[in-house]
A = this chain, B = another copy of it.
Amino acid sequence: MKVNPAKVLPGEDDIRKAFDRISNHINLTPVLTSQTLNEITGASIFFKCENFQKAGAFKFRGASNALSLLSFEQAEKGVCTHSSGNHAQALTLAARSRSIPAFIVMPENAPSVKVDAVKQYGGNITFCKPTLEARESTLQQIQEQTGATFIHPYNNIQVIEGQASCFYEMLGQLNHPPDAVVVPVGGGGLLSGTGLAAKYFSPTTKVIGAEPLMANDAWKSFREKRFVPSKDPQTIADGLRTSLGDITFPIILNQVHDILTASEEGIIKAMFLIWERMKIVVEPSAAVVLAVLMEHPSVFAGKNIAAIFSGGNVDLKDLPWF
């Protein structure tokens, strides 16, 4: 993959318009604080709770924005994607609310809890072998058969604009611009969107990506300023196993101040603390932000920190502390 700045980056007005476009469809998610977690980290943390977003994750924002920009002819034929995770659920639910079909390609070994969620929202699932090749060729077949529009999980300008709406919305919920915003990074949709939102609406805020040490391809790519692919990492943070995209990576290089990593043990510990102290259900990929805050205290001590809990879709019958 070559690193080229995307030709047409979303501007200030594009993010505002994306937010206006989707704001009647998304949940206004709360910003929560926790005295205990402030004491543990030494920072003053404001958690944006996208685990309360529709379909359980911020992904609904990007999917909604991409869908809302389809022409009538496009919309009629539906949308498609390959994903075994939150994007599949988000796209299916967003499509259902517009009464158009969603075609989802999933690996045949996808967890049943995720398959069931997509089915429940009315998605048309096609299973394929669990390889990138099978995934892409199956998706191509689906596109040819149905004429559905492919909505990439993150490497898509409209999706990035939608994800940018999260921090944009959050800024309106805070009394002061935060010193930093900490965001999980997998494919980079949320991180690049947050980077753009910070650039336009809170330029004094530093943007920090949070990544599992065991899936540190974005950390490497950021430091080496060249794309380093993700190689099937085994982190518990299943939403953060993907590689960056050729649209998200250049935005991240330009708009993000740093990427910090957290250990698997730290992610599980953070997830447990969030459930126990904040009484909310977050998935491992969301807990990475607190794990980063806890494992890098000197970076954040005494600061006002915004942190985005990306989602809460977790198999309650398969928890990491059991």
Q: Is the CB of B279 within 8 A of A275?
A: no
Q: Is the CB of B279 within 8 A of A312?
A: yes
Name the distance in Å between A50's Cβ and chain B's nearest Cβ. Answer: 10
User: Which of B30, B32, B56, B275 contacts A281, CB < 8 Å?
Assistant: B275
Which secondary structure dominates where chain A touches chain B? Answer: loop
* A32 vs B281: C-alpha distance when bound (angstroms): 14
Cβ of A52 < 8 Å from any Cβ of B? yes
Name the distance in Å between A39's Cβ and chain B's nearest Cβ. Answer: 11
Name the distance in Å between A299's Cβ and chain B's nearest Cβ. Answer: 27
Q: Is the CB of A279 within 8 A of B52?
A: yes
Name the distance in Å between A57's Cβ and chain B's nearest Cβ. Answer: 10
Stretch of A72-80, A130-138, A141-149, A314-322 with 4 or more beta carbons under 8 angstroms from chain B: A314-322
- How big is the A interface, by class? 10 to 19
Cβ of A249 < 8 Å from any Cβ of B? no
**Binary contact track A277-318/B, C-beta < 8 Å → 1, others 0:** 001111000000000000000000000000000001000110
Task: List the B side residues contacting A56 at CB < 8 Å.
Answer: 279
Name the distance in Å between A314's Cβ and chain B's nearest Cβ. Answer: 9
* A312 vs B322: C-alpha distance when bound (angstroms): 19
Task: List the B side residues contacting A30 at CB < 8 Å.
Answer: 30
Task: List the B side residues contacting A272 at CB < 8 Å.
Answer: 316
Cβ of A92 < 8 Å from any Cβ of B? no
Task: List the B side residues contacting A312 at CB < 8 Å.
Answer: 279
Task: List the B side residues contacting A319 at CB < 8 Å.
Answer: 316, 319
Which chain B residue has the least Cβ–Cβ distance from A276? B316
Cβ of A51 < 8 Å from any Cβ of B? yes
**Given known contacts A280-B280, A280-B281, A322-B322, A275 and B316 CB-to-CB distance under 8 angstroms:** yes
Task: List the B side residues contacting A279 at CB < 8 Å.
Answer: 51-52, 56, 280-282, 312
Name the distance in Å between A156's Cβ and chain B's nearest Cβ. Answer: 26
* A32 vs B32: C-alpha distance when bound (angstroms): 14
Residue among A30, A275, A321 with most chain B CB within 10 A = A275
Task: List the B side residues contacting A275 at CB < 8 Å.
Answer: 281, 316
Which chain B residue has the least Cβ–Cβ distance from A309? B279
* A272 vs B321: C-alpha distance when bound (angstroms): 17
* A312 vs B274: C-alpha distance when bound (angstroms): 12
* A312 vs B312: C-alpha distance when bound (angstroms): 17
Task: List the B side residues contacting A51 at CB < 8 Å.
Answer: 279
* A316 vs B278: C-alpha distance when bound (angstroms): 13
Q: Which 9 A-B pairs have the closest CB atoms?
A: A279-B312, A279-B281, A51-B279, A275-B281, A280-B280, A275-B316, A276-B316, A52-B279, A279-B280
Besides A275-B316, A280-B281, 16 new A-B residue pairs in contact (Cβ under 8 A), listed by A number: A30-B30, A51-B279, A52-B279, A56-B279, A272-B316, A275-B281, A276-B281, A276-B316, A279-B280, A279-B281, A279-B282, A280-B280, A316-B319, A316-B321, A317-B322, A322-B322
